Amino acid sequence: MRKLTGVSLIELVVFIVIISIVTVSLGASLIASMQNSVPVRKYTESTLIASSCMDWYVGQRDSLSFKQFNILHCANNLKIPDICKLNKEYKVSGSCKNLRLKNDPGYKQISINVKGPANASLTTIFGEY
């Protein structure tokens, strides 16, 4: 007679237990990563708002002369356009400061700050050229 070889019941139970433990740990890590994705999405939204607003100012600088840009946008305080205020969850503010680089006063430092569920900040320098 031939001896039959196969998997015993104990080996099968041990295999099922090990697979169950691995599946539960992978499921828990997947749930944790999904919970952490909400702050990442909010941070991405705030950075996108700041970037869009900064792009608008760069476009204004490119289409206007430096003096016109200075008069329109930097005379008192940086005026925030309506396009930057579309998402009501976030408050957008900005500043425009005179900047001297190598004793040349022809520069402006533009800063955009976004506050809300997540915060973001961008700064750039415009030069008179």
Residue 73 CA to residue 114 CA, distance in Å, equals: 18
96 is a domain residue: yes
Total structural domains within the chain: 1
* 122: nearest Cα among 77, 92, 88: 92
Residue 106 CA to residue 123 CA, distance in Å, equals: 17
* pLDDT confidence of residue 91: 93
* pLDDT confidence of residue 2: 67
67 is a domain residue: yes
* pLDDT confidence of residue 1: 60
Name residues of the chain where pLDDT drops below 70. Answer: 1-2, 4, 75-76
**What letter does residue 13 receive in the DSSP assignment?**
H
Domain of residue 99: give its range: 37-127
* pLDDT confidence of residue 50: 93
